[in-house]
Structure 1
Protein backbone atom coordinates (compact mmCIF):
# COMPACT_ATOMS: atom_id res chain seq x y z
CA UNK A 1 0.00 0.00 0.00
CA UNK A 2 1.39 3.39 -1.03
CA UNK A 3 2.10 6.09 1.53
CA UNK A 4 -0.88 8.15 0.42
CA UNK A 5 -3.20 5.16 0.73
CA UNK A 6 -1.83 4.41 4.19
CA UNK A 7 -2.47 7.99 5.28
CA UNK A 8 -6.00 7.89 3.86
CA UNK A 9 -6.69 4.66 5.74
CA UNK A 10 -5.27 6.10 8.94
CA UNK A 11 -7.62 9.08 8.64
CA UNK A 12 -10.61 6.80 8.10
CA UNK A 13 -9.75 4.65 11.10
CA UNK A 14 -9.32 7.73 13.30
CA UNK A 15 -12.52 9.37 12.05
CA UNK A 16 -14.77 6.31 12.30
CA UNK A 17 -15.15 6.25 16.11
CA UNK A 18 -15.63 10.04 16.20
CA UNK A 19 -18.47 9.97 13.68
CA UNK A 20 -19.91 6.89 15.39
CA UNK A 21 -20.03 8.60 18.79
CA UNK A 22 -21.04 12.11 17.72
CA UNK A 23 -22.92 11.62 14.46
CA UNK A 24 -22.39 13.55 11.24
CA UNK A 25 -23.51 16.92 12.56
CA UNK A 26 -21.67 16.54 15.86
CA UNK A 27 -18.32 15.69 14.29
CA UNK A 28 -16.23 18.46 12.74
CA UNK A 29 -13.22 18.25 10.48
CA UNK A 30 -11.33 19.93 13.34
CA UNK A 31 -12.13 16.90 15.49
CA UNK A 32 -10.57 14.67 12.85
CA UNK A 33 -7.58 16.98 12.53
CA UNK A 34 -7.05 16.79 16.29
CA UNK A 35 -7.28 12.99 16.20
CA UNK A 36 -4.88 12.56 13.29
CA UNK A 37 -2.50 15.45 13.83
CA UNK A 38 -3.04 16.56 10.23
CA UNK A 39 -3.72 20.07 9.00
CA UNK A 40 -6.81 20.91 6.97
CA UNK A 41 -4.87 20.69 3.73
CA UNK A 42 -3.71 17.21 4.68
CA UNK A 43 -7.28 16.05 5.15
CA UNK A 44 -8.61 17.62 1.97
CA UNK A 45 -5.77 16.10 0.00
CA UNK A 46 -7.43 12.74 0.62
CA UNK A 47 -11.12 13.67 0.98
CA UNK A 48 -12.99 16.27 -1.01
CA UNK A 49 -15.52 16.95 1.74
CA UNK A 50 -16.73 16.03 5.20
CA UNK A 51 -19.49 14.02 3.53
CA UNK A 52 -16.98 11.84 1.69
CA UNK A 53 -14.96 11.22 4.83
CA UNK A 54 -18.10 10.40 6.83
CA UNK A 55 -19.19 7.90 4.19
CA UNK A 56 -15.81 6.16 4.15
CA UNK A 57 -15.70 6.15 7.96
CA UNK A 58 -19.14 4.54 8.09
CA UNK A 59 -18.14 1.89 5.54
CA UNK A 60 -15.11 1.06 7.69
CA UNK A 61 -17.14 0.95 10.92
CA UNK A 62 -19.80 -1.27 9.36
CA UNK A 63 -17.23 -3.68 7.91
CA UNK A 64 -15.53 -4.04 11.28
CA UNK A 65 -18.86 -4.57 13.04
CA UNK A 66 -20.07 -7.14 10.51
CA UNK A 67 -16.79 -9.05 10.60
CA UNK A 68 -16.88 -9.24 14.39
CA UNK A 69 -20.43 -10.56 14.48
CA UNK A 70 -20.50 -12.87 11.46
CA UNK A 71 -17.02 -14.42 11.25
CA UNK A 72 -16.44 -18.05 12.19
CA UNK A 73 -19.82 -19.38 11.09
CA UNK A 74 -18.26 -21.73 8.55
CA UNK A 75 -17.36 -24.35 11.15
CA UNK A 76 -21.01 -24.78 12.17
CA UNK A 77 -22.87 -27.34 10.03
CA UNK A 78 -26.46 -26.79 11.13
CA UNK A 79 -28.20 -23.73 9.70
CA UNK A 80 -30.24 -23.27 12.85
CA UNK A 81 -27.12 -23.45 14.98
CA UNK A 82 -25.45 -20.86 12.74
CA UNK A 83 -28.36 -18.52 13.40
CA UNK A 84 -28.26 -19.20 17.14
CA UNK A 85 -24.53 -18.55 17.19
CA UNK A 86 -24.91 -15.27 15.28
CA UNK A 87 -27.62 -14.11 17.69
CA UNK A 88 -25.56 -15.16 20.71
CA UNK A 89 -22.55 -13.24 19.41
CA UNK A 90 -24.67 -10.12 18.81
CA UNK A 91 -26.01 -10.30 22.37
CA UNK A 92 -22.73 -11.10 24.10
CA UNK A 93 -20.13 -9.22 22.02
CA UNK A 94 -19.95 -5.47 22.62
CA UNK A 95 -19.53 -3.24 19.59
CA UNK A 96 -15.91 -3.14 18.47
CA UNK A 97 -16.43 0.51 17.52
CA UNK A 98 -16.53 3.12 20.32
CA UNK A 99 -20.00 4.62 20.50
CA UNK A 100 -21.98 1.44 19.99
CA UNK A 101 -23.52 -0.27 16.98
CA UNK A 102 -22.56 1.67 13.81
CA UNK A 103 -25.61 0.42 11.94
CA UNK A 104 -28.07 1.65 14.54
CA UNK A 105 -26.21 4.94 14.93
CA UNK A 106 -26.10 5.48 11.17
CA UNK A 107 -29.78 4.68 10.76
CA UNK A 108 -30.71 7.24 13.43
CA UNK A 109 -28.17 9.82 12.30
CA UNK A 110 -29.18 9.64 8.64
CA UNK A 111 -32.85 10.06 9.42
CA UNK A 112 -32.41 13.83 9.06
CA UNK A 113 -32.06 13.34 5.32
CA UNK A 114 -28.36 12.74 4.63
CA UNK A 115 -28.87 10.63 1.48
CA UNK A 116 -25.39 9.10 1.30
CA UNK A 117 -25.31 7.87 4.89
CA UNK A 118 -28.95 6.78 4.64
CA UNK A 119 -28.16 4.66 1.59
CA UNK A 120 -25.14 3.09 3.29
CA UNK A 121 -27.26 2.19 6.31
CA UNK A 122 -29.96 0.78 4.04
CA UNK A 123 -27.42 -1.28 2.11
CA UNK A 124 -26.01 -2.63 5.37
CA UNK A 125 -29.45 -3.72 6.56
CA UNK A 126 -30.15 -5.36 3.19
CA UNK A 127 -26.82 -7.19 3.28
CA UNK A 128 -27.51 -8.43 6.82
CA UNK A 129 -30.95 -9.67 5.76
CA UNK A 130 -29.42 -11.36 2.74
CA UNK A 131 -26.85 -13.21 4.86
CA UNK A 132 -29.48 -14.45 7.30
CA UNK A 133 -31.88 -15.37 4.50
CA UNK A 134 -29.15 -17.38 2.75
CA UNK A 135 -28.54 -19.38 5.92
CA UNK A 136 -32.28 -20.06 6.27
CA UNK A 137 -32.64 -21.03 2.60
CA UNK A 138 -29.73 -23.45 2.97
CA UNK A 139 -31.46 -24.94 6.00
CA UNK A 140 -34.65 -25.45 4.00
CA UNK A 141 -32.73 -27.16 1.19
CA UNK A 142 -31.02 -29.46 3.69
CA UNK A 143 -34.29 -30.38 5.38
CA UNK A 144 -33.33 -28.71 8.69
CA UNK A 145 -35.91 -25.94 8.40
CA UNK A 146 -39.59 -26.30 7.50
CA UNK A 147 -40.37 -25.84 3.81
CA UNK A 148 -43.08 -23.24 4.39
CA UNK A 149 -40.64 -20.92 6.20
CA UNK A 150 -40.23 -17.47 4.64
CA UNK A 151 -36.51 -16.63 4.91
CA UNK A 152 -36.91 -12.87 4.55
CA UNK A 153 -39.68 -12.75 7.16
CA UNK A 154 -37.53 -14.64 9.68
CA UNK A 155 -34.51 -12.44 8.87
CA UNK A 156 -36.59 -9.30 9.42
CA UNK A 157 -37.82 -10.66 12.75
CA UNK A 158 -34.30 -11.47 13.94
CA UNK A 159 -32.87 -8.09 12.96
CA UNK A 160 -35.79 -6.04 14.28
CA UNK A 161 -35.77 -7.93 17.58
CA UNK A 162 -32.01 -7.57 18.07
CA UNK A 163 -31.80 -3.90 17.08
CA UNK A 164 -34.85 -2.97 19.16
CA UNK A 165 -33.43 -4.81 22.16
CA UNK A 166 -30.06 -3.15 21.65
CA UNK A 167 -31.67 0.29 21.72
CA UNK A 168 -33.55 -0.57 24.93
CA UNK A 169 -30.40 -2.03 26.45
CA UNK A 170 -28.46 1.16 25.79
CA UNK A 171 -31.20 3.42 27.15
CA UNK A 172 -31.84 1.29 30.25
CA UNK A 173 -28.17 0.41 30.74
CA UNK A 174 -28.88 -3.29 31.19
CA UNK A 175 -28.38 -6.45 29.14
CA UNK A 176 -31.82 -7.76 30.08
CA UNK A 177 -33.60 -6.69 26.84
CA UNK A 178 -30.91 -8.42 24.78
CA UNK A 179 -31.12 -11.59 26.85
CA UNK A 180 -34.90 -11.58 26.44
CA UNK A 181 -34.50 -11.00 22.70
CA UNK A 182 -32.15 -13.96 22.42
CA UNK A 183 -34.69 -16.18 24.14
CA UNK A 184 -37.52 -14.92 21.92
CA UNK A 185 -35.52 -15.52 18.75
CA UNK A 186 -34.63 -18.96 20.07
CA UNK A 187 -38.35 -19.72 20.23
CA UNK A 188 -38.76 -18.54 16.64
CA UNK A 189 -35.94 -20.80 15.50
CA UNK A 190 -37.42 -23.72 17.42
CA UNK A 191 -40.68 -23.09 15.59
CA UNK A 192 -39.18 -23.22 12.09
CA UNK A 193 -37.16 -26.35 12.78
CA UNK A 194 -38.20 -29.29 10.63
CA UNK A 195 -38.27 -31.34 13.83
CA UNK A 196 -40.95 -29.00 15.20
CA UNK A 197 -42.92 -29.56 12.02
CA UNK A 198 -42.81 -33.33 12.53
CA UNK A 199 -44.04 -32.95 16.10
CA UNK A 200 -46.94 -30.77 15.00
CA UNK A 201 -47.81 -33.21 12.25
Structure 2
Protein backbone atom coordinates (compact mmCIF):
# COMPACT_ATOMS: atom_id res chain seq x y z
CA UNK A 1 0.00 0.00 0.00
CA UNK A 2 1.26 3.50 -0.78
CA UNK A 3 1.55 5.84 2.17
CA UNK A 4 -1.59 7.87 2.66
CA UNK A 5 -3.08 9.99 5.42
CA UNK A 6 -5.91 8.48 7.36
CA UNK A 7 -9.07 9.25 5.37
CA UNK A 8 -12.31 10.18 7.08
CA UNK A 9 -14.89 7.48 7.45
CA UNK A 10 -17.15 7.52 4.38
CA UNK A 11 -20.63 8.89 4.79
CA UNK A 12 -23.13 6.02 4.74
CA UNK A 13 -24.65 5.68 1.29
CA UNK A 14 -28.38 5.48 0.70
CA UNK A 15 -29.95 2.07 0.95
CA UNK A 16 -29.01 -0.08 -2.02
CA UNK A 17 -31.41 -2.01 -4.15
CA UNK A 18 -31.17 -5.78 -3.88
CA UNK A 19 -29.34 -5.87 -7.20
CA UNK A 20 -27.02 -3.06 -6.15
CA UNK A 21 -26.21 -4.75 -2.85
CA UNK A 22 -25.45 -7.99 -4.68
CA UNK A 23 -23.13 -6.22 -7.13
CA UNK A 24 -21.32 -4.43 -4.31
CA UNK A 25 -20.91 -7.71 -2.43
CA UNK A 26 -19.48 -9.40 -5.54
CA UNK A 27 -16.95 -6.60 -5.99
CA UNK A 28 -15.80 -6.97 -2.39
CA UNK A 29 -15.58 -10.78 -2.60
CA UNK A 30 -13.64 -10.59 -5.88
CA UNK A 31 -11.22 -8.04 -4.44
CA UNK A 32 -10.81 -10.13 -1.28
CA UNK A 33 -9.79 -13.21 -3.24
CA UNK A 34 -7.35 -11.28 -5.41
CA UNK A 35 -5.80 -9.46 -2.47
CA UNK A 36 -5.38 -12.69 -0.52
CA UNK A 37 -3.69 -14.31 -3.50
CA UNK A 38 -1.50 -11.40 -4.65
CA UNK A 39 -1.48 -8.79 -1.89
CA UNK A 40 -3.15 -5.40 -1.68
CA UNK A 41 -0.23 -3.55 -3.25
CA UNK A 42 -0.19 -5.80 -6.32
CA UNK A 43 -3.97 -5.82 -6.79
CA UNK A 44 -5.28 -2.89 -8.82
CA UNK A 45 -8.83 -1.77 -9.41
CA UNK A 46 -8.34 -2.81 -13.03
CA UNK A 47 -7.54 -6.32 -11.80
CA UNK A 48 -10.78 -6.39 -9.82
CA UNK A 49 -12.78 -5.16 -12.80
CA UNK A 50 -11.24 -7.74 -15.11
CA UNK A 51 -11.61 -10.66 -12.71
CA UNK A 52 -15.24 -9.90 -11.88
CA UNK A 53 -16.39 -8.49 -15.19
CA UNK A 54 -17.26 -5.14 -13.61
CA UNK A 55 -17.29 -1.82 -15.44
CA UNK A 56 -15.40 1.19 -14.16
CA UNK A 57 -18.67 3.03 -13.58
CA UNK A 58 -19.95 0.11 -11.48
CA UNK A 59 -16.86 0.00 -9.31
CA UNK A 60 -16.68 3.75 -8.72
CA UNK A 61 -20.39 3.88 -8.01
CA UNK A 62 -19.81 1.83 -4.85
CA UNK A 63 -16.21 2.73 -3.93
CA UNK A 64 -14.56 6.14 -4.17
CA UNK A 65 -11.05 4.67 -4.52
CA UNK A 66 -8.92 1.63 -3.80
CA UNK A 67 -8.53 2.46 -0.12
CA UNK A 68 -12.30 2.44 0.35
CA UNK A 69 -12.45 -1.01 -1.23
CA UNK A 70 -9.58 -2.31 0.92
CA UNK A 71 -11.42 -1.26 4.07
CA UNK A 72 -14.45 -3.25 3.00
CA UNK A 73 -12.23 -6.22 2.19
CA UNK A 74 -10.85 -6.14 5.75
CA UNK A 75 -14.37 -6.27 7.18
CA UNK A 76 -15.33 -9.00 4.74
CA UNK A 77 -12.30 -11.12 5.59
CA UNK A 78 -12.91 -10.67 9.31
CA UNK A 79 -16.43 -12.04 8.98
CA UNK A 80 -15.34 -14.82 6.63
CA UNK A 81 -12.54 -15.95 8.94
CA UNK A 82 -14.85 -16.03 11.96
CA UNK A 83 -17.69 -17.68 10.07
CA UNK A 84 -15.34 -20.47 8.99
CA UNK A 85 -14.81 -21.32 12.66
CA UNK A 86 -18.52 -21.66 13.43
CA UNK A 87 -19.90 -23.27 15.47
CA UNK A 88 -16.72 -24.05 17.40
CA UNK A 89 -15.97 -20.54 18.64
CA UNK A 90 -19.56 -19.87 19.60
CA UNK A 91 -19.85 -23.06 21.65
CA UNK A 92 -16.40 -22.99 23.23
CA UNK A 93 -16.96 -23.96 26.89
CA UNK A 94 -14.54 -26.78 27.71
CA UNK A 95 -11.07 -28.12 27.02
CA UNK A 96 -12.69 -30.75 24.81
CA UNK A 97 -14.43 -28.02 22.79
CA UNK A 98 -11.14 -26.13 22.52
CA UNK A 99 -9.51 -29.21 21.02
CA UNK A 100 -12.36 -29.55 18.53
CA UNK A 101 -11.80 -25.92 17.51
CA UNK A 102 -8.11 -26.74 17.08
CA UNK A 103 -8.99 -29.64 14.78
CA UNK A 104 -11.32 -27.40 12.77
CA UNK A 105 -8.59 -24.77 12.33
CA UNK A 106 -6.15 -27.40 11.09
CA UNK A 107 -8.76 -28.67 8.63
CA UNK A 108 -9.48 -25.13 7.39
CA UNK A 109 -5.78 -24.48 6.93
CA UNK A 110 -5.30 -27.73 5.04
CA UNK A 111 -8.28 -27.04 2.79
CA UNK A 112 -6.83 -23.63 1.95
CA UNK A 113 -3.47 -25.08 1.00
CA UNK A 114 -1.70 -23.52 4.01
CA UNK A 115 -2.26 -20.12 2.39
CA UNK A 116 -2.18 -18.27 5.69
CA UNK A 117 -4.74 -16.08 7.40
CA UNK A 118 -6.52 -13.59 5.10
CA UNK A 119 -6.86 -11.10 7.95
CA UNK A 120 -3.30 -11.60 9.18
CA UNK A 121 -1.87 -11.17 5.69
CA UNK A 122 -3.79 -7.93 5.22
CA UNK A 123 -2.74 -6.61 8.61
CA UNK A 124 0.96 -7.20 7.93
CA UNK A 125 0.71 -5.40 4.59
CA UNK A 126 -1.42 -2.35 5.34
CA UNK A 127 -0.75 -1.52 8.99
CA UNK A 128 2.34 0.62 8.47
CA UNK A 129 0.96 2.94 5.80
CA UNK A 130 -2.82 3.05 6.18
CA UNK A 131 -3.96 3.94 9.67
CA UNK A 132 -7.66 3.34 9.15
CA UNK A 133 -6.91 -0.08 7.74
CA UNK A 134 -4.67 -0.84 10.71
CA UNK A 135 -7.47 0.08 13.10
CA UNK A 136 -9.95 -2.09 11.21
CA UNK A 137 -7.56 -5.05 11.27
CA UNK A 138 -7.03 -4.50 14.99
CA UNK A 139 -10.80 -4.48 15.48
CA UNK A 140 -11.05 -7.75 13.58
CA UNK A 141 -8.44 -9.40 15.76
CA UNK A 142 -10.11 -7.99 18.88
CA UNK A 143 -13.40 -9.56 17.79
CA UNK A 144 -11.66 -12.91 17.27
CA UNK A 145 -9.80 -12.86 20.58
CA UNK A 146 -13.00 -11.66 22.24
CA UNK A 147 -14.82 -14.80 21.13
CA UNK A 148 -12.01 -16.89 22.59
CA UNK A 149 -12.19 -14.83 25.78
CA UNK A 150 -15.92 -15.53 26.08
CA UNK A 151 -15.20 -19.23 25.72
CA UNK A 152 -12.60 -19.15 28.47
CA UNK A 153 -14.99 -17.17 30.67
CA UNK A 154 -17.58 -19.93 30.17
CA UNK A 155 -14.97 -22.52 31.10
CA UNK A 156 -14.20 -20.53 34.22
CA UNK A 157 -17.87 -20.20 35.13
CA UNK A 158 -18.22 -23.98 34.82
CA UNK A 159 -15.24 -24.46 37.12
CA UNK A 160 -13.06 -26.07 34.47
CA UNK A 161 -10.37 -23.43 34.74
CA UNK A 162 -9.44 -21.81 38.03
CA UNK A 163 -10.46 -18.36 39.29
CA UNK A 164 -6.97 -16.92 38.88
CA UNK A 165 -6.89 -17.52 35.13
CA UNK A 166 -7.52 -14.38 33.05
CA UNK A 167 -9.81 -15.17 30.08
CA UNK A 168 -8.79 -11.94 28.33
CA UNK A 169 -5.09 -12.78 28.49
CA UNK A 170 -5.75 -16.37 27.42
CA UNK A 171 -7.73 -15.14 24.42
CA UNK A 172 -4.90 -12.90 23.25
CA UNK A 173 -2.28 -15.60 23.87
CA UNK A 174 -4.15 -18.29 21.95
CA UNK A 175 -4.86 -15.98 19.00
CA UNK A 176 -1.20 -14.94 18.94
CA UNK A 177 -0.25 -18.60 18.71
CA UNK A 178 -2.74 -19.08 15.88
CA UNK A 179 -1.36 -16.16 13.88
CA UNK A 180 2.25 -17.19 14.38
CA UNK A 181 1.44 -20.78 13.48
CA UNK A 182 -0.44 -19.73 10.34
CA UNK A 183 2.43 -17.53 9.18
CA UNK A 184 5.01 -20.28 9.67
CA UNK A 185 2.70 -22.84 8.06
CA UNK A 186 2.32 -20.56 5.04
CA UNK A 187 6.09 -20.10 4.78
CA UNK A 188 6.89 -23.78 5.26
CA UNK A 189 3.96 -24.98 3.14
CA UNK A 190 3.23 -27.37 5.97
CA UNK A 191 0.55 -27.49 8.66
CA UNK A 192 3.07 -28.69 11.24
CA UNK A 193 3.94 -25.23 12.66
CA UNK A 194 0.25 -24.46 13.18
CA UNK A 195 -0.32 -27.80 14.88
CA UNK A 196 2.61 -27.24 17.22
CA UNK A 197 1.50 -23.68 18.04
CA UNK A 198 -2.07 -24.76 18.76
CA UNK A 199 -0.99 -27.68 20.91
CA UNK A 200 1.28 -25.44 22.97
CA UNK A 201 -1.50 -22.88 23.37
CA UNK A 202 -3.95 -25.55 24.52
CA UNK A 203 -1.35 -26.91 26.93
CA UNK A 204 -1.11 -23.44 28.46
CA UNK A 205 -4.88 -23.31 28.88
CA UNK A 206 -4.84 -26.81 30.39
CA UNK A 207 -2.31 -25.60 32.94
CA UNK A 208 -5.09 -23.46 34.40
CA UNK A 209 -7.61 -26.29 34.67
CA UNK A 210 -8.80 -27.22 38.12
CA UNK A 211 -7.78 -30.54 39.64
CA UNK A 212 -11.19 -32.06 39.05
CA UNK A 213 -11.40 -30.98 35.41
CA UNK A 214 -7.87 -32.14 34.65
TM-score where L is the length of structure 1: 0.87
Q: Give how far 1:177 is off.
A: 1.1
Tell me if the contact between 1:83 and 1:132 (Cα under 8 Å) persists in the aligned partners: no
Alignment partner of 1:21: what SS?
helix
Q: Distance in 1 between matches of 2:26 and 2:141?
A: 26
Aligned twin of 2:109: 94
Count of aligned positions: 197
Aligned twin of 2:72: 56
The answer as to 2:166 corresponding to 1:150 is: yes
Aligned twin of 1:26: 42
Tell me if the contact between 1:61 and 1:102 (Cα under 8 Å) persists in the aligned partners: yes
Deviation per CA, 1:6-42: give whole Å up to 9, x if none: 1111111111111222222211000011012122112
Alignment partner of 1:195: what SS?
coil
The answer as to 2:138 corresponding to 1:122 is: yes
Gaps of 5+ in 2: 1-16
Q: Give how far 1:59 is off.
A: 1.3
Q: Distance in 2 between matches of 1:135 and 1:56?
A: 28
The answer as to 2:144 corresponding to 1:167 is: no
CA RMSD in angstroms, aligned pairs only: 2.3
Q: Distance in 2 between matches of 1:153 and 1:100?
A: 24
Task: Name whichever structure is richer in helix by fraction.
Answer: 1
The answer as to 2:28 corresponding to 1:16 is: no
